[in-house]
């Protein structure tokens, strides 16, 4: 439903304003909380029962979507209303890594963490393919009201499933005055852990330099490869399809190679793919290349979570996942960068420049990992 809402919101905003800047603002409103609230969410999720946070998040997302439906029925809805609702839903998204994703890995047990996280990544890749398609169809058939009404219904259904989840957690009283100290403690812990630092470094690199390419999918398809509008979605679906296939492979068995190595290698594969993709002589080859890059991306997204769940003590996991969320929140800044480069050099060169910069940053992270003392990666404390 996240991707349904994002697509429907973008279509409505562009239809009303005709402004690409307005569309970018509405889209950024959903991702901004990841950068601003991710680390704080990690601290809160250590103290409050994660099951309650998950339930509250589903209900808040449902209420945000319903508010857009009501405003649309009254004829009052404006892009800033959608941006506000997106910010609320984005605040729920900021708790995702520290609550739901952590619960997925822990519910599976120590021996199946990697496969469980891979299954979760697989469903995420499928949603990223199906969501925009469903969002465009729902908006075309039922308008903004229909898209957000179905979204709110799905959030409510998800909320009804939460009470049946078996989840055990030691909680403590949340003291607001302790939050700065807890944040400082989580940063200090991360600085002492080479594996956590590697996860944070690679996550920041990928979200700032790699995932920003999605902002230029339409210009690449239309101006570089010259395809009609109806075929633009094929380029957007290539990487999630590769992630889906990669997730299927990773759910079948636990990887035997060092997880940090797999995370860095998968990230490098995707960045190389991005650097080469605009140079392809045909649109079909470009789409196929992104499918292959998506396989590498599946390694990154799976190992990103698995490394934290298997290397960080339970008392610190949510806070470290909060730091990961904060790194994910760098995405909008990367999109602003690639947008500026596209204005100066064109979309093709902008993608190549950011991909090469990402490979350079990834190389520096890899070098730091090689110089750090190796630590066990397969035991849960």
Give the tens place of pLDDT for each residue, 171-210. Answer: 777 777 777 887 888 888 888 888 889 999 999 999 999 9
pLDDT over 80 (residue 110): no
What is the reported pLDDT for 371?
73
Q: How confident is the model at residue 91 (pLDDT cuts 50, 70, 90)?
A: very high
What is the reported pLDDT for 277?
93
More confident residue, 20 or 11: 11
What is the reported pLDDT for 379?
41
- Output the furthest CA–CA distance in the chain (Å, rounded): 61
pLDDT over 60 (residue 380): no
156 lies in some domain: yes
Q: What is the pLDDT averaged over residues 253-274?
A: 86
* Radius of gyration for the chain, computed over Cα atoms and rounded to the nearest angstrom: 20
377 lies in some domain: no
Closest by CA to 240, choosing from 211, 203, 261, is 211
379 lies in some domain: no
The CATH number that applies at residue 127 is 1.20.1250.20
What is the reported pLDDT for 378?
43
Tokens 């519910």 identify what position?
Answer: 107
Residue 342 belongs to what domain range?
Answer: 2-371
376 lies in some domain: no
Q: What angle in degrees, to the nearest 10, is found between the helix axes of 283-311 and 194-205?
A: 150
381 lies in some domain: no
* Total number of domains in the chain: 1
**Token pair recorded at residue 33:** 């909380």
- List b or e across 28-67, with b for residues whose CB sees 16 or more CB atoms inside 10 angstroms: bbbbbbbbebbbbbbbbbbbbebbebbbbbbbbbbebbbb
Q: What is the pLDDT averaged over residues 21-49?
A: 82
What is the reported pLDDT for 77?
92
More confident residue, 133 or 381: 133
160 lies in some domain: yes
C-alpha 26/C-alpha 21 separation (Å) is 9
89 lies in some domain: yes
Closest by CA to 189, choosing from 308, 34, 326, is 308
C-alpha 292/C-alpha 273 separation (Å) is 8
Q: Which of 223-237, 304-318, 351-365 has the highest mean pLDDT?
A: 351-365
Q: What is the pLDDT averaged over residues 332-357?
A: 87
C-alpha 320/C-alpha 97 separation (Å) is 9
Q: Which of 58-62, 251-255, 299-303 has the highest mean pLDDT?
A: 58-62
Q: How confident is the model at residue 78 (pLDDT cuts 50, 70, 90)?
A: very high
- What are the φ/ψ torsions at residue 168 (nearest 5 degrees)? -120, 130
380 lies in some domain: no
């Amino acid at each position: 439903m996240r991707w349904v809402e994002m697509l429907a919101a973008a279509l409505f905003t562009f239809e009303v304003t005709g402004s690409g800047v307005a569309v970018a603002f509405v889209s950024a409103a959903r991702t901004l909380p990841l950068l601003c609230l991710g680390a704080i969410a990690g601290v809160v999720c250590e103290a409050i029962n994660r099951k309650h946070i998950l339930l509250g998040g589903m209900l808040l997302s449902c209420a945000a979507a319903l508010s857009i439906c009501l405003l649309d029925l009254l004829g009052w809805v404006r892009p800033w209303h959608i941006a506000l609702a997106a910010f609320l839903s984005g605040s729920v998204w900021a708790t995702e890594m520290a609550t739901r994703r952590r619960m997925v890995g822990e519910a599976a047990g120590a021996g199946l963490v990697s496969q469980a996280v891979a299954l979760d990544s697989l469903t995420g890749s499928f949603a990223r393919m199906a969501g925009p398609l469903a969002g465009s169809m729902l908006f075309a058939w039922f308008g903004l009201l229909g898209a957000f009404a179905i979204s709110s219904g799905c959030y409510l259904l998800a909320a009804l499933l939460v009470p049946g989840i078996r989840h055990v957690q030691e909680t403590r009283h949340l003291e607001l005055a302790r939050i700065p100290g807890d944040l400082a403690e989580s940063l200090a812990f991360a600085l002492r852990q080479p594996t956590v630092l590697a996860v944070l470094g690679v996550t920041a690199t990928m979200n700032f330099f790699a995932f920003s390419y999605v902002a230029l999918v339409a210009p690449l398809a239309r101006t570089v490869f010259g395809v009609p509008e109806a075929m633009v979605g094929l380029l957007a679906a290539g990487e999630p399809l590769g992630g889906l296939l990669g997730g299927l492979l990773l759910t079948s068995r636990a990887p035997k190679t060092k997880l940090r190595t797999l995370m860095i290698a998968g990230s490098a594969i995707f960045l190389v793919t991005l650097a080469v993709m605009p140079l392809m002589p045909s649109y079909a080859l470009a789409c196929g290349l992104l499918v292959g890059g998506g396989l590498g991306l599946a390694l990154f997204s799976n190992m990103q979570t698995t490394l934290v769940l298997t290397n960080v003590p339970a008392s610190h996991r949510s806070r470290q996942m909060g730091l990961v969320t904060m790194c994910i929140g760098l995405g909008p800044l990367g999109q602003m960068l690639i947008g500026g480069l596209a204005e100066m050099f064109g979309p093709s060169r902008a993608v190549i420049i950011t991909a090469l910069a990402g490979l350079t940053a990834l190389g520096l992270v890899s070098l730091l990992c090689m110089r750090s003392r190796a630590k066990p990666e397969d035991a849960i404390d």
